Chains A and B, each alone.
Chain A
Amino acid sequence: MDTPDNSSSKAWDHSPSAPLSIHDLTVAYHRKPVIWDIDLDIPEGKLVGIIGPNGAGKSTLLKACLDLIPKASGTVQVYGKDYRKQRAKVGYVPQRESVDWDFPVSALDVVTMGIYRQVGWCRPILGRHKAVARKALEHVGIGHLADRQISQLSGGQQQRVFLARALAQDAQLYFMDEPFAAVDAATERAIITLLKELKSQGKTVLVVHHDLATVAQYFDWVILLNMRVVAAGPTGEVFTQENLKNTYGGKLTLLAEAGHALSQLKS
């Protein structure tokens, strides 16, 4: 890991304007690598599914890109510049369990947090900021719940609050960590509609996803991850039995599920 970075001589063709360009990214936890030597260029305007078994490093990949955990090596560029200079262009939807829902804030407060950057340090939140947040809540269909304390919302509604917060931020590139986990069917449909809408606006969305059965239906690009990138590319080319086998190893139940998903894809 200590080898000098002579990456510029490497034959990897990084396009300068890609929404996300990851180069040689390695992250280790207690000296054990969690993700290893990731090289990826994500094209613009795609819905990208990140799939892989538990512990494959999916969330770690997102967090390392967002500078939330230290990288052992590697660089992450957003639209051709270092991520740290491009924070305004990047939105993040963390896992729902990552926050304390008993926190004394309303749904509207949480959505407003998505635009704290625009509000600026030490500046108060104004009516127009709240209006943006309210609009985002209406957009995800829970405008009427704006003043509810967040523990009084159902799981699906909480997930929508998180999505509204990302919407309010109006980013170009989104990272979403399992937005479909444990939500009701109506919310799942609402989320996928929203993702398609973001895509139609030319935005790029990376989604950590668990349900293999819906991958082909939801995403036009996939990254198969198991510490390393097993395969990445357009769903039609990359989401194959062979690649899934390489990603999930010998986990038979998952393979059966994958087989089912593939047969659905063909029919």
Chain B
Amino acid sequence: MTWYAIDTWIVVIGALCAMAAALPGCFLVLRKMSMMGDAISHAVLPGLAIAFLVTGSRASFSMFIGAAIVGVLTAVFTQWISNWGKVDSGASMGIVFTTLFAVGLLLIVQAADHVDLDPGCVLYGAIELAPWDIATTWTLGGVQLEIPRAALVLGSVFLFNLLIVIFFFKELKIAAFDPDLATTQGINANLMHYLLMTQVAVTTVASFEAVGSIIVIAMLIVPAATAHLLTDRLGVMLILAAGLGAMAAGAGHLMALLLPGWLGFESATTSGMMAVATGVFFLLAWMLAPRYGLLTKTLTTKRIRHSRELS
């Protein structure tokens, strides 16, 4: 196996995506809204299509704005339907995102069939190609550094999410734990909800092109759920989730390089492997976590039974 500069960039891009997603992901997991990332990532399709139809170009920025708006609307519609109809929030999410996804597909097929808006590409992304799309060149200490556009975009999103989590840490915390109390304290829980939804939408959309939606959905939820098994502190959970996500990006790319050779496959997709790596980390934590792991729980039960038998 040879490691090229391009491999480093692939891991950096994957890690930035993972860290950007892990921060809002922790709050999604804690608010039991894990499927929201999934819903938003599918529902943004009409946003992409409409932005294309309106502007007539595949310029990234207009597509980004269109998709992000529809992403936030997904959350708004979901809330409306569950508030005003006799529908629970899970079902209303299902209604909203499938409908929007279908509308998006129709729009693409009907009006924009001739352009390359490939739904498959949206799902699986093309992280292996991302490093080739250079946005700018920085010179650091005499070394020319070509920065891929994906790294720049995902880096900005990570920074955006990081700043929000730092500045609104206690507001996000109280709105997630006890929205009623937040409201009586003058912290509008609805406002915090939509701030979080905006973060999720922006992160998902930004990650689409570079890494695909499968990996964002995984990175939103799995590292956060893993971190929740490992700690009892929200701050630690956020840091752990970001760290685990970044590690999964590295491990996933390594697996994508090594596994095909070992198993005799032709190749393995990097973003798929990154998502698998998050799953492996979760499995390990689920079994071995110090307090909530399966092993610890079994041992504790055994120890208690044993000591009862002795006494």
Q: Chain A residues in contact with chain B, CB under 8 A?
A: 30, 63, 66-68, 87, 90-92, 94, 98-100, 103-106, 109-110, 113-114, 116-117, 119, 121-122, 124-125, 149, 165
Contacts and interface: CB of A to CB of B under 8 A. Distances in A.
Contacts of A63: 180
Given A100-B30, A149-B232, A113 B183 contact: no
A102 to B, nearest CB: 8
Given A99-B177, A103-B30, A104-B234, A116 B170 contact: yes
B180 A92 contact: yes
Interface stretch (B57-65, B127-135, B184-192, B215-223): B184-192
Interface in B145-179: 167-168, 170-171, 173-174, 176-178
B100 interface: no
A106 B181 contact: no
Nearest to B185: A117
A122 B237 contact: no
Contacts of B183: 66-68
Contacts of B30: 100, 103-104
A264 B185 CA distance: 40
Contacts of A109: 173, 234
A63 B183 CA distance: 11
Contacts of A68: 180, 183-184
B88 to A, nearest CB: 14
Contacts of A122: 167-168, 171
Which of B170, B176, B183 has most A Cβ within 10 Å?
A: B170
Contacts of B177: 99-100, 103, 105, 110, 113
Interface residues of B, number: 27
A68 to B, nearest CB: 5
B290 to A, nearest CB: 13
B32 A100 contact: yes
Given A99-B178, A100-B32, A116 B234 contact: no
B231 interface: yes
Contacts of A119: 170
Contacts of A87: 184-186
Contacts of B234: 103-105, 109
Contacts of B180: 63, 66, 68, 92, 94, 98
Contacts of B231: 104
Nearest to A123: B170
A104 B232 contact: yes
27 contacts: A66-B184, A67-B183, A68-B180, A68-B183, A87-B184, A87-B185, A92-B180, A92-B184, A94-B178, A100-B32, A103-B30, A103-B176, A103-B234, A104-B30, A104-B228, A104-B232, A106-B232, A109-B173, A109-B234, A110-B177, A113-B170, A113-B173, A119-B170, A122-B168, A122-B171, A125-B170, A149-B232
